[in-house]
Structure 1
Amino acid sequence: MSDARAVEAVTETLRALVNDAVKSVPPHATAVTMPPDKAAAAQQTHVNLFLYQTSIAPNLRNEPYGGLTPGESGEPPLPLVLRYLLTPYTQDGDDVVAHRLLGLALQKLHSVPALTRDELNQTAAYSNVSRQIDCLRITWHSVEEKDIYSLWSVFQTPYRLSAAFEVRAVLIDSTRPARTPVPVLNRGEDGRGPQAVADIRATTPRIDAVRHPAGQPAARVGDRVELHGAHLSAVRQVRLTHLMTGKVVDVPLTTAPPRHDLIALTLPGTVSAGVCAVTPMAGAPPAELPVPPAYLAVAPKITNTMPLTVARDGHGDADVRLDVDPPLVEGQQVLLLLGGNSHRARSAVGGAAEFTVREAPPGDHLVRLRVDGVDSLLVADRTAARPVYDPTQLLTVT
């Protein structure tokens, strides 16, 4: 998702792209971002990029809040469609030069169908819009004649040949915290819940299930993880690719050669908390096997001595510092789940994350740390007949 400066970042990135396309036109053509009446009055050769309309992408309006697990809820992001007007101006009013400017700008935008993360980072590093999962696509927008007349009439300036295009969708986060109730321990009388069973006997390699130890929803560094599937006997190592950071870790299989239906690996300390794509590798040198994607959840571990006690200040706020393993990577989304409420980290670097809990309620609270959508483990053993919460995962507010 994106922060409140996402619109600014997108406009600045587009301006930089257009500026790069027209700067060779004499004398020193540039790209600017002004209202049409101000752009017409400027005594210079330039292309004006004007954001004239914002609207909502209806297909994304009710998309669920990202990073939630079943049973949790949050305000969905605001999906914006940004519509821009591209207008060339010259010092002497020469339309031939203006047409050259417009052609160069349109060629550049046509060659960039989507704003890449690198472009957004290089031009507008102050916003995290580059980290939203959905890419920002540039498409041409047809403006009817009556709309053109209305638009230029509002600014009371002579009409200039222009082109319109749109960028969608910029997903702006809500500032309202997500609601994260403590997970349910059992579903149904025997705790199994609904089951769906299928038997497709494929002849190609596949991974059917990723199983974490003790029935947990995620694994921690040092845990043994099993990959169940078929035709996996050629696997010699497993590649883990973090979905958010892009970090790649290759994990060699140091145990006996895998069975055709099972791979076992131990998570090294070089992985990062979050969700990783799992890719089996075979051969020498190892090459990726044509296996449909499977995903492994890596849970962060709170390494403070628990239970932990913090004191409120005079305003009723409490500062909480949690030591984390594995170390956090810059840009990861880190949340403190205290009881049934979530709190964003004010600082999350390396082996520690710091939070400020506003109006912290006094008493004992179950505590979880969520990194890129994966929670620290709150239940010690989910395979037990009667699973219980880990009594050490408590934070006491005094």
Structure 2
Amino acid sequence: MSDARAIEAVTETLRALVDDGVKGVLPGATAVARPLDQVNPTAQEAQVNLFLYQTGMAAELRNAPPPDLLPGEDAEPALPLVLRYLLTPFVPDGNDLVAHRLLGGALQALHTRPLLTRAELAQSAPYSDLARQVDSVRITWHAFEEKDIYSLWSVFQTPYRLTTAFEVRAVLIDSRRPARTPVPVLSRGSDGRGPRASADVRPTTPRVDAVVCPGGQPAARAGERIELRGANLGGVSAVRLTHLGSDATLVVPVPAPAPGGPPRPSGTLALTLPAGLPAGVCAVTLLAGTPPAELPVGPWYMALAPRITSPLPATAVRDAAGDAEVVVNADPPFAEGQRVFLLLGGDAHAAGSLAGHTARFTLRRARPGGYPVRLRVDGVDSLLVLDRAANPPAYDPSQRLTVI
């Protein structure tokens, strides 16, 4: 999701795309973003104006929870906006043929790029984190009734010009209200597994049904051994891990079976996670052959958990205003733009700053007491439960912070 400058980021990215399109059909033409009555029709250069005339709501997303919430947590839904724009060419001396040429170049540029890519958003609007939004930002045609477009032009008391309308959806703006993050449930049902469902039509291609982390944990850490369980995995020669937030990538070779030894089981694949990826969600892609080539299946996903390296348990001291400053060191180091929270009991506190392995937090009006502590990075928590395979499982007694 994105911040309050997301609307500005969309407009600037669209203006850059349209500017590139009109320069391709008429060198020297430019794209601007102004109200209709502020565009100078007597200017000497040809212009295409991009005007945001309406913001609406994407009703289908209005009550959708944030995508990085874990089960049992609660947060205010994002504000899902639909942005509607007018695209109008302005040319010297009112030459309609040149105006038509400019409009064609602008529409071709938008038709060629129906999705605003992360790279385009990051390049045109580096001041906003809209490029990190999980959902795609799509450009679509918007049909205008004749009476509506004439009514809109009459509001600006300016002569009507050839105009095209389109919309961009959905732009998700975060709520500033913090999420409620209860501590994890230790077990579900008598065996701690909860309900399970599986379907098997005996595929002939590789398939991953589950990524199993050590100790039954929901996430793994660098240096730990994970297991992929599925079918037809015997021919996999490597696995590629791609961090979804930063696009950092690692290729992990799969050890070949010993010469003369039994073949590798086709239903399981064990890997040791190397260091080098930020904490968060990673896509798991299967590779085969030499050199390894991507198989046309998947990807699957796994969570890479952060590890708190600061000494714990620890104590935070409140100041006269009731606030407490907490510095947390963690591994792996934080990547630029990551969403980092310190979870104390059921409260989430956003990081004030990130630098390398260090995150700084301000606990506003902190309540005195002892709390289980977790570090959440891009929706993945540090491991609070010692061993979920134990009976019964228990919280790590060292993962605590006392506020005094």
TM-score range, shorter chain: over 0.9
Structure 2 residue 230 is the aligned partner of structure 1 residue 229: yes
1:40–1:157 contact (8 Å) kept in structure 2: no
1:38 aligned residue: 38
1:281 aligned residue: 287
Deviations 1:34-56 (A, max 9, x none): 11111146634322111001101
1:182 aligned residue: 183
Deviates more, 1:285-294 or 1:150-159: 285-294
Structure 2 residue 80 is the aligned partner of structure 1 residue 74: no
Residue aligned with 2:92, SS: coil
Partners of 1:66 and 1:198 lie apart in 2 by 26
Partners of 1:71 and 1:148 lie apart in 2 by 47
Residue among 259, 263, 266 paired with 1:260: 266
Deviates more, 1:203-212 or 1:288-297: 288-297
Q: Structure 1: give runs of 5+ residues left out of the alignment.
A: none
1:169 aligned residue: 170
Structure 2 residue 337 is the aligned partner of structure 1 residue 331: yes
Structure 1 counterpart of 2:284, which letter? V
Partners of 1:259 and 1:140 lie apart in 2 by 52
2:74–2:180 contact (8 Å) kept in structure 1: yes
1:236–1:281 contact (8 Å) kept in structure 2: yes
Q: CA deviation at 1:190?
A: 4.0
Number of aligned residue pairs: 398
Structure 1 counterpart of 2:158, which letter? T
TM-score (norm 1): 0.95
1:350 aligned residue: 356
1:207–1:291 contact (8 Å) kept in structure 2: no
The within-5 A match list for 1:90-105 is 90-105=91-106
1:370 aligned residue: 376
The within-5 A match list for 1:19-168 is 19-23=19-23, 28-40=28-40, 43-44=43-44, 45-168=46-169
1:2–1:127 contact (8 Å) kept in structure 2: yes
Structure 2 residue 381 is the aligned partner of structure 1 residue 386: no
Q: CA deviation at 1:131?
A: 1.0
Structure 1's 101 and 386: CA in aligned 2 closer, same or farther, altered over 3 A?
A: same
Deviations 1:330-363 (A, max 9, x none): 1222111111111221222321111112111111
Deviates more, 1:122-131 or 1:82-91: 82-91
Structure 2 residue 359 is the aligned partner of structure 1 residue 361: no
Structure 1 counterpart of 2:18, which letter? V
2:261 aligned residue: none
1:84–1:166 contact (8 Å) kept in structure 2: yes
The within-5 A match list for 1:271-310 is 271-310=277-316
1:4 aligned residue: 4
1:240–1:279 contact (8 Å) kept in structure 2: yes
Q: CA deviation at 1:206?
A: 1.5
Q: CA deviation at 1:192?
A: 3.3
Deviates more, 1:178-187 or 1:347-356: 347-356
Deviates more, 1:197-206 or 1:345-354: 197-206
Deviations 1:35-85 (A, max 9, x none): 111114663432211100110111221222121111011111111111101
TM-score (norm 2): 0.93
Structure 2 counterpart of 1:153, which letter? S
Q: CA deviation at 1:112?
A: 1.7
Q: CA deviation at 1:197?
A: 4.6
Structure 1's 151 and 265: CA in aligned 2 closer, same or farther, altered over 3 A?
A: same
Structure 1's 390 and 27: CA in aligned 2 closer, same or farther, altered over 3 A?
A: closer
Q: CA deviation at 1:293?
A: 2.7
Structure 1's 227 and 46: CA in aligned 2 closer, same or farther, altered over 3 A?
A: same
Partners of 1:125 and 1:185 lie apart in 2 by 41
1:21–1:108 contact (8 Å) kept in structure 2: yes
Deviates more, 1:93-102 or 1:203-212: 93-102
Partners of 2:121 and 2:203 lie apart in 1 by 43
2:41–2:91 contact (8 Å) kept in structure 1: no
Partners of 2:292 and 2:390 lie apart in 1 by 39
- Off by >6 Å, runs of 4+ in structure 1: 24-27
Partners of 2:301 and 2:98 lie apart in 1 by 54
Q: CA deviation at 1:371?
A: 1.1
Structure 2 counterpart of 1:141, which letter? H
Deviates more, 1:281-290 or 1:361-370: 281-290
Partners of 1:210 and 1:91 lie apart in 2 by 63
Deviations 1:194-247 (A, max 9, x none): 233544433322222211111111111111111112222222222111122111
Partners of 1:197 and 1:302 lie apart in 2 by 35
Q: CA deviation at 1:92?
A: 2.2
Structure 1's 93 and 41: CA in aligned 2 closer, same or farther, altered over 3 A?
A: closer
Residue among 301, 309, 320 paired with 1:314: 320
